[in-house]
Amino acid sequence: MAFGIAQGIIASGKVPPSNIITSAPSMNNLPRFQERGVCVTHSNDEVVDRSRLVFLAVKPHLIPKVLNGISGNVTQEHIIVSMAAGITLETLEGLLPAGTRVIRIMPNLPCMLLEGALLLACGSCAGQMDETLLKALLGPCGLVEAGPEHWIDAHVGLSGSGVAFVYVFAEALADGAVKMGMPSALARRIAAQTILGAGVLLRDSGKFPAELKAEVCTPGGTTIHGIHALEKGGFRAATMGAVEAATERARELGKK
């Protein structure tokens, strides 16, 4: 995810790659940053000392350790941006010097292809200028929206985890075609293109999902019979339940 964010910032044209620095404990993930012209190090302190905007792209359970390690180097000039699911703004601010500007942002996997969906929420000391700066830098990553913090966990369920839900659906679509006699490799390619095309149309048409669905469903036709089968299988309720379950898990992580 850190690489996707870096790619978006580079694509914005507002920051040259040489002005970006990333750290990791090993070299496993750093070569691809180097290939883009990004500076690399094994020192978190060096990143903070050389940067004004600092992204925390670590697992939630590592946040306290990382922030305890860098807090002595954080100044009023810094903006700290966390991508850790479940870790609240209050927790982040409590681990950093008083007055630190903190922003939570939740990206999703397609950010790596600059087709992501990102939601951000500002802490008590971060202002509109900080939000505007982050939106401008991350705009190339995909859709960037802002809102209150309690939307973040729902965004995890909708878009963060939702990517995997779409993959399950894609797999099921392809399996259905294989059952009906289509070669597996072809079925996977067509399933992927079907989801891509449907998503672009939904995003760009300005129409509600129900409107687009109605345009495909002719009376007595194939699609309405298929949708009836989905409804009998509890597809809609299962999808809503999946978003709810992922959201609740994100909330649980924030309480640990």
Residues 6+ apart with CB under 8 A from 152: 104, 106, 119, 121, 250
List, in sequence order, every residue forming a beta bridge with 41; answer none if it has no partner: 23
> Alpha-carbon distance 106 to 182, whole Å?
38
Cα(first)–Cα(last) distance of the chain, in Å? 23
For all residues of the chain together, what is the average pLDDT? 93
> Alpha-carbon distance 178 to 181, whole Å?
5
Q: Per residue in 132-164, pLDDT tens?
A: 999 998 998 899 999 999 999 999 999 999 999
| For range 226-235, the mean pLDDT | 96
Q: Per residue in 151-199, pLDDT tens?
A: 999 999 999 999 999 999 999 999 999 999 999 999 999 999 999 999 9
Largest CA distance in the chain: 68
Confidence band, pLDDT 50/70/90 cuts, at residue 256 = low
29 is in an annotated binding site: no
44 is in an annotated binding site: yes
Report domain extents, the chain: 1-148, 156-254
68 is in an annotated binding site: no
Count CB-CB contacts under 10 A for residue 218.
10
What does DSSP say about strands 79-82 and 53-56: parallel, antiparallel, or unpaired?
parallel
pTM comes to 0.85
60 is in an annotated binding site: yes
17 is in an annotated binding site: no
**Class of 156-254 per CATH?**
mainly alpha
Confidence band, pLDDT 50/70/90 cuts, at residue 14 = confident
- Return the CATH fold of 1-148: Rossmann fold (3.40.50)
